[in-house]
Structure 1
Amino acid sequence: MHTTTDNQAKTFTAEKSRIQDFTDFTAEFPHEHAFLFDGIILGICSKGNMRFKINYNEYHISANEAFVILPRHIFTIIRTSPDLQLKILRFSSDFLLTLPTNPDFSLARRISHYPCISIQPQDMENIQLLYTMARQYESLSDLTLQLQSSLHLSIAFIITASFEQAPARGELPLSRQENLTKSFFHLLLQHYQTQRSVAFYAEQLCITPKYLTTTVKRITGYSIQDWINDITIITAKRYLKTSSRTIQDISEELHFQTTSSFIRFFRQHTGCTPLKYRKDND
């Protein structure tokens, strides 16, 4: 058996999406470390078993089961069986926020409480087929990277569907603070391109900015301004990578007062100017 002890969590990031065998994952991120990933991790077990922690809660996974680790959660491996066969799929936060779907707060809450799920045999066969196809496209051309990402997403959708179809497990109703946070994200997705002040969202929810800020921080671990900045930057990156809009056009689309203020905001949160980002991702 491989064992590990609790250590200070190491933060790591990844490309848009990546799938790898567990042995490759542990070669990159050894057993004895805890990791904090700014994205989503999915694990699919086809043989053997593993014990692990998410945010210091312990879980067990065995054959024909999967687990999901949500963004900004700590992952620590405790013990693995010698015959473990496990595939790890990672999606970066940048990639997740460019998807044409809105976050499902209720599903995320369910996964947070019960991160492990049984996978039906036919679904396991489909996952293996998609995995085999994805591994056939290892070159770094734009076309094959897009194809790989699509195959990775297909695997993720199979696992997500398993969570959605699973019977309820005595889930508690949302607390007032969780409902408030859910309402905030609903408003954010509607207005983030035009509204970046906490006061606006607090007014829409008929509460004080201080109470909204405290609540969202308590439920998610990150401030409202962090979430607003994140989604604004991701949207700006998407425009820079996928459209021919000028920097001025993007600035106006995101309702910055001036192009200069947009450039300063982008540089502050990415470390480079919008023009350099576009050139580097051309």
Structure 2
Amino acid sequence: MKTSTEIPVHRLADSVFHASYGSDINLGDHSATHRVDFFAIIWFGSDSDPHYIDFKPYPVKKNTVYLLARNQVHSIPQSRPDARVIIFSKDFFDSIEEDDLRFIFVPFNNEGITITPEMEKPMTYLFDLIKLENSTNNNLHLLHIYTSAFLLQLHRLSHNSKTLTAYHDERLRKLFQLIGTHYKTQKLVDFYADKIGLTSKRLNQIMKEKIGLSISQIIYNYTLIEAKREISHRTKSMKEIAIELGFKDQSYFSRFFKKQTGITPEHFRKEIF
């Protein structure tokens, strides 16, 4: 679906936490494509047409959970599928104590996590507790406990995901943190290897073994996702986006974008759904 305006942003307004069924959520503009200004857990209850996370399609299957990080662009089918949804602010996310539970919100890997048949009922009970507390006393301490328990179960279930499993390696957790912070200005592998205390060759070997990607490919993934988001916002010129993402000029950025996607940034902006 084409649009001539900036993609709308869905916000939590004055609240920091909300849990409900998807059909009950009202965050302003109901456009199918939107950017989220919060973190979200989306648990689909039925099969439907694919949804899109950062412009890439993912299947909507019953008992599949997707995690959205703040600033990601999300597009849902025109007919909203059944879903249980938990959304919370950056402050709530930052106050989750366990590193592993925050790290499952992987910004460049958006594979769904399947809830197994034996875990469906316990996870339903947890969601119901979260929803009940949110709609009654709304005690943030209790919401943290319940939500952390829910995320812990997802963390266990995510062990079948190759990329998410890589986050159980302390060195790779640090690497992803570093890349997430510095990818716009630091494109060379040596910078990250030096910070972690390994050679570039060894760090790349670990990456290849764990998730089948090189460090350069991870940097490209971060850069491409951010490029798509900035282009979709329609508030900056291609030259401004290129400079902010660390490219020496617009033509170099355009070549990078076309090599990764098969189309130019200008074409992407025109055809964006």
- Match for residue 113 of structure 1 among 109, 118, 143: 109
Distance in 1 between residues matched to 2:118 and 2:110, nearest whole Å: 22
Separation in structure 1 between the aligned mates of residue 100 and residue 134 of structure 2, nearest angstrom: 29
Structure 2 residue aligned with 1:16 = 16
How far does residue 108 in structure 1 lie from its aligned partner after superposition? 4.6
1:149 corresponds, among 144, 153, 163, to: 144
Q: 1:155 to 1:29 in 2, by over 3 A?
A: farther
Alpha-carbon separation, structure 2, partners of 1:41 and 1:132: 16
Please state if 1:101 is matched with 2:95: no
Larger % of strand: which?
1
TM-score (norm 1): 0.52
SS in 1 for 2:6: coil
Q: CA deviation at 1:120?
A: 0.5
- The one-letter code sitting in structure 1 at the alignment partner of 2:20 is Q
Number of matched pairs: 185
Deviation at 1:104, TM superposition (A): 7.6
What percentage of aligned pairs have identical amino acids?
10
What SS does the aligned partner of 2:44 have? Answer: strand
Unmatched tracts of structure 1, length 5 or more: 173-177, 188-200, 207-214, 223-282
Q: Which residue of 1 aligns with 2:154?
A: 159
What secondary structure sits across from 1:152 in the alignment?
helix
Report which structure shows greater RCO (CA 8 Å, sep ≥6): 2
1:168 CA displacement: 2.5
For 1:81-113, what per-residue CA distance to the aligned partner results, in whole angstroms no more than 9, with x for missing partners? 7xx42111112111111222336897554x632
Matching of residue 85 in structure 1 with residue 88 in structure 2: no
TM-score (norm 2): 0.54
Question: Which of the pair has more CA radius of gyration?
Answer: 1
What does residue range 1-282 of structure 1 map to in structure 2 within 5 Å?
Answer: 8-14=6-12, 15-25=15-25, 27-29=26-28, 31-80=30-79, 84-102=81-99, 107-109=104-106, 112-138=108-134, 141=137, 144-163=139-158, 165-168=159-162, 182-183=177-178, 205=195, 218=223, 221=226
Decide whether the 8 Å contact of 2:108 with 2:225 is kept in 1.
no
Whole-angstrom CA distance in 2 between matches of 1:151 and 1:36: 26
Worse-superposed segment, 52-61 or 149-158: 149-158
